[in-house]
Amino acid sequence: MKVTSNDFTSTAKLSLMDDEMRRSVKQATTTAYQKRIDLMFEAGHAHGEALRQRAAQAKRRALQRLPDLLDQAEAKLTANGAHVLWASDGEKVNQLVLEIITRHAVTSVVKGKSMVSEEVGLNEALEDHGIEVIETDLGEYILQLADEPPSHIVIPVIHKSLTSIRDLFIEKLNMTPTDDGHEMAQFARRVLREKFLTADMGITGGNFIVSETGSICLVTNEGNGRMVTSLPRVHVALVGIEKMVATLEDFAILTQVLPRSATGQSMPVYTHMYNGPRKAGEPDGPDEMYVILVDNGRSAIFNSGYAQILTCIRCGACMNACPVYQATGGHAYGWVYPGPLGAVLTPLLVGLERARPLPHASSLCGACKQVCPVDIDLPQMLLDLRHDLYHRRAVDPILKWGLKLWAFGNRFPALFEFGGRIARLLTGDRSLKRLPGFLSRWTNYRDFPPFARESFRRQWRERRGD
């Protein structure tokens, strides 16, 4: 997927004017946020917090042993008859999938939701080779019809209203007009059912891999995952190398926090665990199963100071809680991962130079850390990334020299006080409606109060002495 994160400020400005999109995003995120609170703390606040910490520990344990767990999972999966392949980058992923397609004479593919496939641009690569690719997650299917990227990692179609989806179905699929969301879903279901029955290959992502059993775990709500993995002859799972968990017990902890955090459900409608292809005598499942373990920048993160971001379980709670995301929607972030997660992960995966505004696309309010089911310190990572940006001189010269001047003034109390007096002379007694240059960005939205006639320190000196 093309990276347009450097345009964050201008894209966000356009997004802020899209009232329909903002209404949809605000409504869906606040609903998910509230449902999360209800379900996460259904057995009390202390219980929910403890669960969060246990989940964080499960993922951190796995991260510490990541190389070992990957080897263990590979051995288990192979023993169960699955093929395990390794992809260092996006190009390699697409090449491997195309090779599998050729080997098994595949002409049509159905897909479950996979953010990794968005990262690597898999759909485009397959379509370029004349393969029909159909998204089967309803949200992703709508976006495929609309030719738009997802704007949320769990609710990909969050930016679209029901009416725009209705119009799309009428235009692209000749649906009999209806405003009933349930009827529209039923209609899409009938269309997709045909695709499931005729596809040669199914592609999915994976929420976790349990290394002790070699199980690819997938949670879904629509049941499409089950059909994608059991009806076609070949199943390919694309899974980021960070998705490891050591044991079934750890998986059992994480599977409690994931649906609660993502959609406010105590458990998802479907929890799948795939250990390999269909064995002799089994009634269903694919003839062949491939697991592609995708690096695509993750090893570099593993070896950096930002390794903790690899414990993310992709629940989207940080987006739902983020007032910046709620204002701009997801597309402004310019790549696959929006919101606080994207503000951290995008610069790390695509390079800081290609996502310079993202670490600054946050008021550092900390809501993301508060809701994160694995307690990732996203605000601290944003601060560290800002530090990295500053070091690479990717900083506004006005801001840079302004800060240096400000810091100098703060090293000398007398100079600091003098600065305040100058400011008072400039502002006078009244609130400012308009400031010049860079500072006009403040007065575009708010007044600035007058500086005090006498600073506190001066008053203290006069009343109390030194």
Partner 1 sequence: MHDSPKGKRASLFVTCMVDMLYPETGWAVVDVLEHLGITVDFPPKQTCCGQPAFNAGDRTSAKQVAIQFLKAFKDAEAIVTPSGSCAAMVRHEYPILFADDPQWFDEAKRLAAITWEFTEYLVGGLGISDLQLRLPKRRSFAFHDACHGLRMLGLGAAARTLLKNMDNAVVEELEESDVCCGFGGVFSVKMADVSGAMLKRKINGIQECSAETIVTGDVSCMTHMNGGLARTPSPKRVRHIADVLADGLPDKPS
Who's near 97: CB < 8 A, 6+ residues apart?
122, 125, 126, 203, 236, 238, 292
In angstroms, the Cα distances linking 334 to 149, 158, 339, 343, 390 are 10, 16, 11, 10, 21
CB nearer to partner 1: give 15 or 229.
15
Concatenated DSSP letters of 203-250: EE--SEEETTTTEEEEEESSSHHHHHHHSSSEEEEEEEGGGEES-HHH
Q: Which of these ranges, 57-65, 211-219, 253-261, 452-460, lies near partner 1 under the rule CB under 8 A?
A: 452-460
Min CB(419)–partner 1 separation in Å: 8
Amino acid letter for position 365: C
Beta strand 270-274 pairing with 215-220: antiparallel
How crowded is residue 443: how many other Cβ atoms within 10 Å of its Cβ? 15
Is 2 a binder of partner 1 (CB under 8 A)? no
Helix or strand (DSSP H, E) at 34:
helix 19-40
Min CB(55)–partner 1 separation in Å: 19
Closest Cα partner for 118 from 102, 135, 131, 132?
135
Pattern of binders to partner 1 over 90-109, x per CB under 8 A?
--------------------
Q: In angstroms, how far is the first alpha carbon of the chain from the final one?
A: 63
C-beta separation of 244 from 69 below 8 A:
yes
Q: Which of these ranges, 103-111, 174-182, 336-344, 405-413, lies near partner 1 under the rule CB under 8 A?
A: 405-413
DSSP state, 450? P
Is 163 a binder of partner 1 (CB under 8 A)? no
For partner 1, the binding residue among 411, 425, 436, 462 (CB under 8 A) is 411
Closest Cα partner for 342 from 187, 159, 20, 115?
115
Is 407 a binder of partner 1 (CB under 8 A)? yes
Pattern of binders to partner 1 over 362-401, x per CB under 8 A?
xxxxxx-xx---------x--x-xxxxxxx---xx--xx-
Residues 234-253 that bind partner 1 (CB under 8 A): none
CB nearer to partner 1: give 173 or 399.
399
**Which two three-digit tokens encode residue 396?**
């506004």
Number of residues lying near partner 1 (CB under 8 A) = 70
The Cα 333–Cα 25 span in angstroms is 14
CB nearer to partner 1: give 77 or 367.
367
Is 464 a binder of partner 1 (CB under 8 A)? yes
Residues 6-65 that bind partner 1 (CB under 8 A): 9, 12-13, 16
CB nearer to partner 1: give 218 or 367.
367
Residues 412-451 that bind partner 1 (CB under 8 A): 413, 416, 420, 423-424, 431, 438-439, 441-442, 444-451
The Cα 100–Cα 84 span in angstroms is 12
Min CB(399)–partner 1 separation in Å: 6
Footprint on this chain of partner 1 (rule: CB under 8 A): 9, 12-13, 16, 323-324, 327-328, 357, 359-367, 369-370, 380, 383, 385-391, 395-396, 399-400, 403-404, 406-411, 413, 416, 420, 423-424, 431, 438-439, 441-442, 444-452, 454-457, 459-461, 463-464, 466
